Structure 1
Amino acid sequence: MDTTTYWTGSVRRLPRIGDWSDFAGLAKVQDDALPGALAAAATSPFYRARGGGVPATRAELSGYPLTSKADLRDAYPFGMLAVDRSELATYHESSGSSGAPTACYYTRDDWTDLIDRYCRVRVGIGPADTFLVRTPYALMLTGHVAHAAALSRGATVVPADNRSLATPYAKVVRLLHDLDVTLTWSLPTDALLWAAAARLAGLRPDRDFPALRALLVAGEPLSPARRERIARIWGVPVVEEYGASETGGLAGECPHGRLHLWADRAIFEVYDPATGRTGDEGAGELVVTPLFRTAMPLLRYHIGDLVEVSKVDCPCGWALPTVRVLGRFGTGEGLTQAGLEEVVFRLPAEFGVLFWRARTCSYGVRIQIEVAAPHQESAVRLLAAAVEETYDVQARVEALPPGTLVPDQLLTAMPDVLKPRGLFTGDEDWDRALRYY
């Protein structure tokens, strides 16, 4: 297919899988789309203010300074805006721990791209699906993208925002069961919390939810061992996506279960902070240049996630790089959340370990796991040995009774959700007038 018409002025035609047949063809798709992305960036106040102007070619782009999260925070709220505000469809802020807002925004055309990428999900979405969305809605992008994508394919959406008091874990389990939910969208950890809540409600995750056909997950590292454990508990596939509020979806699974970067929609680089060098493969921190953003173009955006990227042939034939997401940071001992999680979930399934936490300390790493009394001694011994063998650090493992890290009350509570009121009867508690619980 001709790949010379992805941008015609401000009009875009989004690439489709099959427009290219190999990595050389993929590079041609990127090269054709890049001039439109650079032209959009040239209208951004942030990039216009940078010394040297906006790069004009791919070669110039490779030497252009990285765009950091700090740059986005400094540009709050509309310093990155490249279109008139009347063209915006939505405004978002990403979740973060810095305390300073990171703003991002999208036009309706940008939303066409966001939805199209999400709908590449390998299990498909259609009118027969009841889709429970359990990622955040408020300000973040993730819940809104899934919601819009499911609606665009005719599915019934259940908007069970995970930051809302109105949908505690016990209610989610009820919705999954009573509404015959077929697909869910959540953090991987949520799938484990639902399983624990279902068991407390007397339900078996792998038998009492027969309509469920897949769990779609994103938002945190997912090791192969934890993925396999979740799939075994629920008896359905676990399908991973990867993205960010600032960029939308960046990777999704092919029919063979491999996570591929959407490199027809963005140019990806792997950055080594020690040397400042980048490449298109290997391990390092991810850098992204979206190719079809109009509201908020980004050039060499340094997301900072640790990744491993490979350009290898896959039976799917997509000719897209594969990626393994390792998390946001590691430690001096080489520990990452994804790596340590892999070791934890290699413990025998009969131990029932679902919840854990760890922290580095002077002697190595301290790990706590929830595990029933009959398996505590074995779990402690096996996990400590596995961590020390894998990372060559001392590990102190503590076995905690189930319900310690994740209290049963958290999984069974059904708090009242109130509306603000001004008028009360004499025996009502009017101190709750402006509270929602």
Structure 2
Amino acid sequence: MSDDKHDRERKLMDLLLRIKKAPFYKRKLADYNLMNIGLEKISKLPFTVNAELRKAEAFDHLAVEHKEAIHYCESVDTTEKKTSTWLTQKDLETGIRQIKGCGLDKEDIVLFRFPEEFTTTSFHMEQACLEVGATIIPAHRMVMSYPKLLSLMDRLSVTVIVGSPREIERMTETIRLLGLDKGEHFPSLRAIIVTGEVMSDRRKEHLERKWDVPLFNIYSTNETGNIAAMCEHGAMHIFEQDVVVEAWKEDGSGPVDQGDRGLAVITTLSSQASPLLRYLNEDVISFEQGLCPCGKTEKKLVCYGQLQQRTRFKGIVLDEKDIQDAIYSLDPVPAAWKVIQQKNGLHIMLDSEQYDERSLEEIEGKLSKMLKVAVTVEIGYGTLLNRNELLQDIVPKRQEYIGNEGSEDPNVSSSILLRDLLDRGYSAFRINEYEKAHRLFEEAISLVPHSAEAHAWLAAVYGRQIDTAWSLTDKIDLFNKLENEITVALEIDPTLPLARRMNGSKLLNTPDMLGGDPAEAAKEFRYCIEQGMNDIEIWVSLAKCYMETADLAKAREALKEALAIEPKNEEALQLLQDAMNK
């Protein structure tokens, strides 16, 4: 085993030892044996999804004593739900080491321009500057117009800009509005470092042409910290000594092949305060192994954007990176843009004063050819970017790049985690571990309250617990819970076979005076069989319905089907004998 792999294995072992100190993971990993889990077996451990992190309290993520944490960050989504990240001194040192590799030095004067400063990466960058002795201008903390910001850069001879790509583009447009010359007004500028958004090849080239300096991208999230950084050859190298990166199929069924697109799954090996295990962040990525001209051997990662920004048309799948590469190939490149997915293609809004209506057909043709879908284009000036706001002390609104007309994007990470919880609950149910199954199905309902399958499985657990309950009071209480879960499941999806099966079991096993109805139960079981259920239990249940309604011929037919599946089943044999004797 190479020294690098041995070190990563050791870090994973250390992570699994300490991660249960966080209340969140103590609960989540209660049923897992973490012994002998190495890098090759990490996929046996559960995913962590954003919905879980948002639901947990801030201190649930903390895996160290609170006095060891030196910094706290939050990220907020569009629903104002927060995810929390804590940092220890060691976490800070890890982040500084990663950022220092981006080439900052003590001669630099660094302008920070993020829409939000309350992020892990911006904090790491500031601390890295302090570590190397660079000068910091924290302009993201100041409400100022872009002309004032550019004046500040000119007067203070800024050498590096650090910020989001959209902030760099707003500064670019302001330079155009003011008629400034980059060489004359910003001669000291030598590099731009961006993070927080997709940076396609064409977008990178566009900004490098406008500023005449190299641009470097850092792939990070507030929850994980830094994941990868771009070298001078434009390759994004993963920080393999600090993170494990997997790429999984969209349905969660397994990893994708090397080079193919999949969902990013991040394990933070080096994180002390807020470690994450197999965090499914819903970014679409790919990665490849191979020696880079820069000399690095770490995997090279490409980020294509978030899965909820993906568009699909009859086998054509487009991620934000694909759309960016098309739009930033236009000449001129628009100052702002927005894409709306429609039923028959994409509607793209372009904000630029350098287009006219005569170019509309040409632009539509070029974009349609590049994206391989029908594209309509709307050209305007000031429709997406308010130039007056650029010139005033107004905090600009967050840019939305891709919208989906008339529908909401599915929460894929929650769907994958739901499937995992249901599968684990079913495994526990099969071996009669009903308490464990109960907890897992309740967790599934908490994650996705509208899951009919989760409610139906919880009803199944209540059904088994009724059989083992001793007191009449307990049986009545469990029956009421079973009935409620069946009702909810059928309200959500009246066609779900499992819910119909549970309803059939309730109708069969409930006394007539309490609403039992074997004839209706038989209809439910027949429906389930027509939908593909074919196990011995459902045929025996159907036979019992027919025996209750004195339809012995059909009862015998059902029992023969049951015995075809399991010829020596004692219950089916006894029922068949009873049916033959009547």
TM category, shorter: 0.7 to 0.9
1:261 aligns with 238
Answer yes or no: is the 8 Å Cα contact 2:217–2:229 preserved in 1.
Answer: yes
Amino acid in structure 2 at the alignment position of 1:290: T
- 1:318 to 2:296 alignment: yes
Answer yes or no: is the 8 Å Cα contact 1:285–1:307 preserved in 2.
Answer: yes
Q: Structure 1 residues 172, 353: CA separation in 2 closer, same or farther (over 3 Å shift)?
A: same
Q: Structure 1 residues 272, 26: CA separation in 2 closer, same or farther (over 3 Å shift)?
A: farther
1:154 aligns with 133
Structure with the higher fraction of residues in helix conformation: 2
Deviations 1:71-101 (A, max 9, x none): 2112221112111111111111113223211
Q: Distance in 1 between matches of 2:118 and 2:168?
A: 23
1:136 shift after superposition: 4.6
Deviations 1:286-321 (A, max 9, x none): 001111111112111111111111112212222111
Runs (4 or more) in structure 1 with deviation over 6 Å come to none
Q: Structure 1 residues 77, 242: CA separation in 2 closer, same or farther (over 3 Å shift)?
A: same
- 1:68 to 2:49 alignment: yes
Q: Distance in 2 between matches of 1:116 and 1:231?
A: 26
1:397 aligns with 377
1:272 aligns with 249
- 1:387 to 2:367 alignment: yes
> Relative CO higher for 1 or 2, CA cutoff 8 Å, sep ≥ 6?
1
Q: Which moved more, 1:407-416 or 1:293-302?
A: 407-416
1:373 shift after superposition: 5.2
Q: Which moved more, 1:46-55 or 1:358-367?
A: 46-55
TM-score (ref. length: structure 1)? 0.83
1:244 aligns with 221
Answer yes or no: is the 8 Å Cα contact 1:170–1:414 preserved in 2.
Answer: no
Of 75, 80, 98, the residue aligned with 1:94 is: 75
- 1:111 to 2:89 alignment: no
- 1:233 to 2:210 alignment: yes
1:134 shift after superposition: 0.9
- 1:224 to 2:197 alignment: no
Answer yes or no: is the 8 Å Cα contact 2:256–2:262 preserved in 1.
Answer: no
Query: SS of the counterpart of 2:95?
Result: helix
1:377 shift after superposition: 2.5
- 1:178 to 2:155 alignment: yes
1:359 aligns with 340
- 1:283 to 2:283 alignment: no
Query: SS of the counterpart of 1:82?
Result: coil
Q: Distance in 1 between matches of 2:340 and 2:57?
A: 33
Q: Distance in 2 between matches of 1:129 and 1:387?
A: 40
Of 65, 71, 80, the residue aligned with 1:84 is: 65
- 1:129 to 2:112 alignment: no
Amino acid in structure 1 at the alignment position of 2:372: D
Answer yes or no: is the 8 Å Cα contact 1:135–1:142 preserved in 2.
Answer: no
Q: Which moved more, 1:258-267 or 1:274-283?
A: 274-283
1:27 shift after superposition: 3.0
1:143 shift after superposition: 2.2
Answer yes or no: is the 8 Å Cα contact 2:248–2:264 preserved in 1.
Answer: yes
- 1:198 to 2:175 alignment: yes
Q: Structure 1 residues 383, 274: CA separation in 2 closer, same or farther (over 3 Å shift)?
A: farther
The root-mean-square deviation of aligned C-alpha atoms, in Å, is 2.1
Q: Which moved more, 1:176-185 or 1:198-207?
A: 198-207
**How many residues are paired up?**
386
2:388 aligns with 409
Q: How does 1:329-348 map to 2 (within 5 A)?
A: 329=307, 330-333=310-313, 334-348=317-331
Answer yes or no: is the 8 Å Cα contact 1:125–1:155 preserved in 2.
Answer: yes
Q: Distance in 1 between matches of 2:176 and 2:4?
A: 47
Q: Structure 1 residues 352, 405: CA separation in 2 closer, same or farther (over 3 Å shift)?
A: same
1:39 shift after superposition: 1.4
Q: Distance in 2 between matches of 1:277 and 1:131?
A: 43
Query: SS of the counterpart of 1:393?
Result: coil
Answer yes or no: is the 8 Å Cα contact 1:269–1:280 preserved in 2.
Answer: no
- 1:209 to 2:186 alignment: yes
Q: Distance in 1 between matches of 2:351 and 2:295?
A: 42
Q: Distance in 2 between matches of 1:138 and 1:210?
A: 27
Query: SS of the counterpart of 2:244?
Result: strand
Q: Distance in 1 between matches of 2:283 and 2:379?
A: 31
1:375 shift after superposition: 5.0
Answer yes or no: is the 8 Å Cα contact 1:195–1:205 preserved in 2.
Answer: no
Answer yes or no: is the 8 Å Cα contact 2:115–2:164 preserved in 1.
Answer: no
Q: Distance in 1 between matches of 2:329 and 2:238?
A: 27
Q: Structure 1 residues 241, 35: CA separation in 2 closer, same or farther (over 3 Å shift)?
A: same
TM-score (ref. length: structure 2)? 0.63
**Identity in percent:** 27
Q: Distance in 2 between matches of 1:376 and 1:181?
A: 40
Amino acid in structure 1 at the alignment position of 2:268: P
Answer yes or no: is the 8 Å Cα contact 1:188–1:218 preserved in 2.
Answer: yes
Answer yes or no: is the 8 Å Cα contact 1:55–1:61 preserved in 2.
Answer: no
1:228 shift after superposition: 0.6
Q: Which runs of 5+ in 1 are unaligned?
A: 4-23, 417-437
Q: Distance in 2 between matches of 1:387 and 1:352?
A: 13
2:569 aligns with none
Q: Which runs of 5+ in 2 are unaligned?
A: 396-582
Deviations 1:256-315 (A, max 9, x none): 221111112111100112252125733111001111111112111111111111112212
